[in-house]
Amino acid sequence: MTNTNKFDYGKVAVLMGGNSAERDISLLSGNAIYQGLLNCGIDAIKIDTQKEVYQSLVDNNIERAFIALHGRDGEDGVIQGFLRMLGIPFTGSDTASSSLAMNKLLCKKIWLQMGFTTAEFAEVDSQKILNMTDAKQIITQLGESLFVKPIREGSSVGMSKVNGCDELVIAVKKAQQYDSVLIEKFIDGREYTVSILGGKPLPSISMVTPNEFYDFDAKYNANTTEYFCPSGLSSQQEKNLQKMALSAFNALGCSGWGRIDFIKDNNTDEFMLLEANTVPGMTETSLVPKAAQSAGIDFSQLVRKILDSSFCNDPFCSKQYYKNMMELGDCHG
């Protein structure tokens, strides 16, 4: 496939791997993205950021970066700030919005202020030793069944579903290996996700797994997880969910592409926000490619459209480039 896009991308680096807990998934995403770019006729190379990043960028005369790094140093604004300093345009959200979206606790607080609904929660500092008295207080506040998550990790890393004080204490200690901890009230319901591409929502996807919840194994290893796209919602529900996803995405200042996750409460039929993802997975089982395919966008087209978002993060981007991207709906201020 040749590159029919009007923009000159130059030499593109797919930044992948890194040192986060999601390294293996990032390598899978990066390899898939790299092949997709080659299929579009784009001059691309792979760079594993676990190694000397700066020298690799300089030695290969990199003009643009496709960020395929999940988790720490990839989704939290670190690599974005580094690339901004070097004057290298990059895909996805900017430094500030990446940092904000990575923090589940701050996301929830912002969304609550804007009138969105999320599960009730408590927080535990990474240095605090949670004792049984603390656990009982949290369970009195939130209920017996809870989700425990590191505040700044993705792909369900360090996440546990617990019942009762003993399990809560153990789960908090496990999550504290990664970060401070978010504890959420368990919501009984089906999970949904809406991908955002170029300022527009893609069709929603619902996920069903025999696992206790949509955990790391259900996402990347199990062949028993079912994905539904269309997700089974009515036309009006789909429109409302897409609108909510885009509003939640924009509320964090995110841009380019990403994903917003929800759970639909079985008791109230209300959609509740779970979290934002600014560099979602791009593996064979990942959700963004599934949603794009449902919208008639194949994988190579998808990676090219994501790469187009780098023009919004180009400090040397001409006014005409920005105007063109706005007209295409692939950039928003």
Domain carrying residue 133: 121-185
- Assigned domain for 6 exists: no
Told to judge if 126 belongs to the known catalytic residues of this protein, a careful annotator would answer: no
> Does some domain include residue 127?
yes
- What's the mean pLDDT in 211-230? 65
> In this structure, is residue 277 part of a structural domain?
no
SS3 labels along the chain: CCCCCCCCCCCEEEEECCCCCCHHHHHHHHHHHHHHHHHCCCCEEEEECCCCHHHHHHHCCCCEEEECCCCCCCCCCHHHHHHHHHCCCECCCCHHHHHHHHCHHHHHHHHHHCCCCECCEEEECCCCCCCHHHHHHHHHHHCCEEEEEECCCCCCCCCEEEECHHHHHHHHHHHCCCCCEEEEECCCEEEEEEEEECCEECCCEEEECCCCCCCHHHHHCCCCCEEECCCCCCHHHHHHHHHHHHHHHHHCCCCCEEEEEEEEECCCCCEEEEEEECCCCCCCCCHHHHHHHHCCCCHHHHHHHHHHHHHHHCCCCCHHHHHHHHHHCCCCC
226 residue type, one letter:
E
Nearest CA among 138, 208, 218 for reference residue 171: 138
pLDDT at 6: 46
259 is catalytic: yes
Is position 52 annotated as part of the catalytic site?
no
Indicate if the pLDDT at residue 311 is higher than 80.
yes
**Once rounded to an integer, what is the mean pLDDT over residues 71-92?**
93
pLDDT of residue 4: 45
Q: Residue 162 carries which side chain, given as an amino acid letter?
A: V
| More confident call, 318 vs 194 | 194
Write the CATH number for 140: 3.30.1490.20
| CB neighbours of residue 224 within 10 Å | 11
22 is known as an active-site residue: yes
180 flagged as catalytic: no
Least confident interval from 5-14, 26-35, 105-114, 255-264: 5-14
Catalytically annotated residue among 64, 72, 259, 304: 259
What's the rounded mean pLDDT across residues 52-65?
Answer: 94
> Once rounded to an integer, what is the mean pLDDT over residues 248-265?
95
Exactly one of 76, 184, 191, 261 is catalytic; which is it?
Answer: 261
Is residue 229 in a domain?
no
- Residue 60 confidence (pLDDT): 95
- 206 is known as an active-site residue: no
Catalytic residue from among 155, 156, 160, 206? 155
Residue 147 counted as domain residue: yes
Would residue 261 show up in a list of annotated catalytic residues for this protein? Answer: yes
Which residue is catalytic, options 26, 179, 281, 304? 281
- With respect to residue 57, please indicate whether it lies within any of the assigned structural domains: no
Q: Which amino acid is at 285?
A: T
What is the total count of domains within the chain?
1
User: What is the predicted pLDDT for the residue at 226?
Assistant: 84
How does residue 314 score in pLDDT terms, banded at 50, 70 and 90? low
Report the predicted TM-score, pTM, of the whole model to 2 decimal places: 0.86
Q: Could you read off the pLDDT of 180-195 as tens digits, one per residue? A: 999 999 999 999 999 9
Residue 193 lies in a domain: no
213: left (phi over 0), alpha (psi -120 to 50) or beta: beta
Measured distance CA(112)–CA(261) in Å, rounded:
15
**Residue of 17, 22, 26, 103 with catalytic role:** 22
Residue 256 has pLDDT above 70, yes or no: yes
Given a cut of 90, whether residue 56 has pLDDT beyond it is yes
Q: What is the pLDDT of residue 1?
A: 43
Confidence of residue 7 (pLDDT cuts 50, 70, 90): low
Question: 315 falls in which pLDDT band (50, 70, 90)?
Answer: low
| 330 pLDDT above the threshold of 70 | no
Residue 125, Cβ neighbours under 10 Å: how many? 12
Predicted confidence (pLDDT) at residue 48 exceeds the cutoff of 70: yes
- Percent of the chain exceeding pLDDT 70 equals 86
Residue 39 pLDDT grade (very low, low, confident, very high; cuts 50, 70, 90): very high
**Is 93 within a domain?**
no
Q: Would you call the peptide bond into 230 cis, given omega within 30 degrees of 0 as the criterion?
A: yes
Alpha carbon distance 317, 323 (integer Å): 10
Known active-site residue 277 = yes
117-163 pLDDT, tens digit per residue, is: 999 999 999 999 999 999 999 999 999 999 999 998 765 778 889 99
Radius of gyration for the chain, computed over Cα atoms and rounded to the nearest angstrom:
20
CA–CA dist 330, 326 (Å, integer): 6
